[in-house]
């Protein structure tokens, strides 16, 4: 069964966190009875920001690009919901 899942790498982890954050923002259908949870969305963004800070200079170009792009999109989505 373990072979059914793709291997976890940095990009997969970041995209997984992004999906979780979007679910907290109510942007993923079927995410639960109370889909909007701004505090959890903010915490997920802060975790990714911490990861960006702690990995600065240690990521491949693609990893850095994906993390930056994901953070930008999540911040924009959060700001739209929070205002």
Over range 53-67, report the average pLDDT: 97
Q: What per-residue confidence (pLDDT) applies to 41?
A: 97
**Which of left, alpha, beta for 32 (phi over 0: left; psi -120 to 50: alpha)?**
left
Q: What per-residue confidence (pLDDT) applies to 28?
A: 86
Question: What is the domain extent for residue 68?
Answer: 2-82
Distance spanning both ends of the chain, measured CA to CA: 43
Convert 7-75 into a string of H (helix), E (strand) and C (coil).
CCCHHHHHHHHHHHHHHHECCCCCCCCCCECHHHHHHHHHHHHHHHHHCCCCCCHHHHHHHHHHHHHHH
Structural domains of the chain, count: 1
Q: What per-residue confidence (pLDDT) applies to 14?
A: 97
pTM, entire model: 0.87
Q: pLDDT tens digits, residue range 3-46?
A: 687 789 999 999 999 999 999 999 987 656 567 899 999 999 99
């Amino acid at each position: 069964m373990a072979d059914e899942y793709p291997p976890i790498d940095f990009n997969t982890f970041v995209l997984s966190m992004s999906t979780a954050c979007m679910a907290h923002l109510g942007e993923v259908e079927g995410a639960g009875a109370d889909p909007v949870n701004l505090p959890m969305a903010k915490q997920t963004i802060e975790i990714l920001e911490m990861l960006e800070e702690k990995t600065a200079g240690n990521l491949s170009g693609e990893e850095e690009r994906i993390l930056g792009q994901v953070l930008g999109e999540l911040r924009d989505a959060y700001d739209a919901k929070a205002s």
